[in-house]
Amino acid sequence: MRPYTYTTGTGTPALTLIQGEGVALLGLCATNGEAAIFYLKLWWGGTTSTEVPVIGTTAPSITIAIPVGGLAPTSFRFPLQGGGPCWMAATLNAVYTDDTALATGGDIVTLFID
């Protein structure tokens, strides 16, 4: 297990490649200085890094709500994983068609991956 740290921004959300091969998500923690919940979205691609998802078009594999004040370190009983590469982005709204930027940004999301 190793940590992967991501800092949110206020610009249009962009995909961040976590790892170019299969990745297992074992848990996470996050800060949230926004005035509302924000959503961490993860996409597991196909079998190659050329199958890149599109924010607002491709449905995420999972959407995780990050409550105001943050999310304490959380581990999953079973790892979340998919075949191929894994990307992430933070958006203001939960719906998969959303690509709205965060108002404040600067929040820290740490994923525990294998």
Domain limits, the chain: 2-113
Would you state the pLDDT for residue 60? Answer: 94
How sure is the predictor about 36, in pLDDT bands with cuts at 50, 70 and 90? very high
For residue 48, pLDDT beyond 70: no
Residue with tokens 């924000």: 38
Res 50: pLDDT: 66
Strand order, beta sheet including 108-113:
2-7, 108-113, 23-30, 71-82
Of 3.30.1640, 2.170.150, 3.40.1440, 2.60.120, the CATH number of 2-113 is 2.60.120
